[in-house]
């Protein structure tokens, strides 16, 4: 019988989000995953033994539906992981319409979506003892391994700032708020278009010699969400093999 409570993972149907969801299931949580691709999400939920709710984290009605699902789930919400995000490729030299279209998309999903989900679910999370974990990125400190991540970098920097502000605001309820900042994560959509030559250059800058994989992140998230992370809040935990150059 599962006894740990409910964990919600946005963007939990694929890649990194799915790895995180699977870790919480293994740790004894009921898990609710969300995502925009309802078919893929439902399949992932069946395979994992999770509950699925399709929706867009930046859409007010979809997020309201998520809150209603959590209220009616019958298990106390203890962990909220906000993993949903997009990574448009944009740089200052792009045409202005493309640059700001990419900016708007990244802001809407990565930053506004994170805040919207937090606003809806924070009142429902266990207090004291609730855990919120945001997904940031190494690019928030480095700007990326090459030009082209202008909009994405801005939103991930915003995630770090939002994490600090939320940690301060929710501390009075005994809820911790932290972020995990991976590198580019081999084997995900973020690195699918990297050629062998560029990947080799990136690996050469990483002290541990290679990009991380989605399997490297769930342990960090689980630590922040578990008993050992109870006195950790307002922190960004970098999981990147020592890579500090972006």
Two tokens, residue 179: 């972020």
Catalytic-residue membership of 231: no
> Which is catalytic among the residues 22, 45, 66, 152?
152
Separation of alpha carbons 157 and 53, rounded Å = 28
- Concatenated DSSP letters of the chain: ---S-EEEEETTTSHHHHHHHHHHHHTT-EEEEEES-HHHHHHHHHHHT-EEEE--TT-HHHHHHHHHHHHTSSS-EEEEEE-------B-TTS-HHHHHHHHHHHIIIIIIHHHHHHHHHGGGB-TTT-EEEEE--THHHH--SSS-BHHHHHHHHHHHHHHHHHHHHHGGGT-EEEEEEE-S-TTSTTTTT--HHHHHHHHHTSTTSS---GGGSHHHHHHHHSGGGTT--S-EEEESTT----
Two tokens, residue 34: 């969300």
Two tokens, residue 128: 């004291």
Query: What are the residue numbers of the active site?
Result: 152
């Amino acid at each position: 019988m599962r006894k740990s409570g409910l964990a919600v993972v946005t963007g939990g149907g694929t890649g990194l989000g799915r790895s995180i969801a699977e870790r919480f299931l293994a740790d004894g949580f009921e898990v609710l995953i969300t995502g925009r691709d309802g078919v893929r999400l439902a399949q992932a939920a069946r395979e994992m033994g999770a509950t699925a709710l399709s929706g867009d984290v930046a859409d007010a009605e979809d997020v309201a539906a998520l809150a209603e699902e959590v209220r009616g789930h019958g298990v106390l919400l203890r962990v909220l992981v906000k993993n949903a995000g997009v990574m448009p490729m944009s740089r200052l030299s792009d045409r202005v319409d493309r640059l700001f279209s990419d900016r708007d998309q990244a802001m809407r999903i990565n930053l506004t979506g994170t805040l919207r989900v937090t606003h809806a679910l924070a009142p429902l999370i266990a207090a004291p003892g609730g855990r919120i974990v945001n997904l940031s990125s190494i690019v928030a400190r480095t700007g990326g391994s090459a030009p082209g991540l202008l909009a994405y970098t801005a939103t991930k920097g915003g995630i770090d700032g939002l994490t600090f502000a939320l940690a301060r605001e929710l501390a009075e309820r005994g809820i911790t708020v932290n972020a995990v900042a991976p590198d580019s994560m081999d084997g995900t959509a973020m690195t699918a278009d990297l050629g062998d030559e560029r990947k080799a250059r990136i690996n050469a800058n990483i002290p541990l010699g290679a990009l991380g994989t989605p399997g490297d992140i769930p342990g960090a998230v689980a630590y922040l969400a578990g008993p050992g992370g109870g006195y950790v809040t307002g922190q960004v935990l970098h999981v990147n093999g020592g890579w500090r150059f972006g």
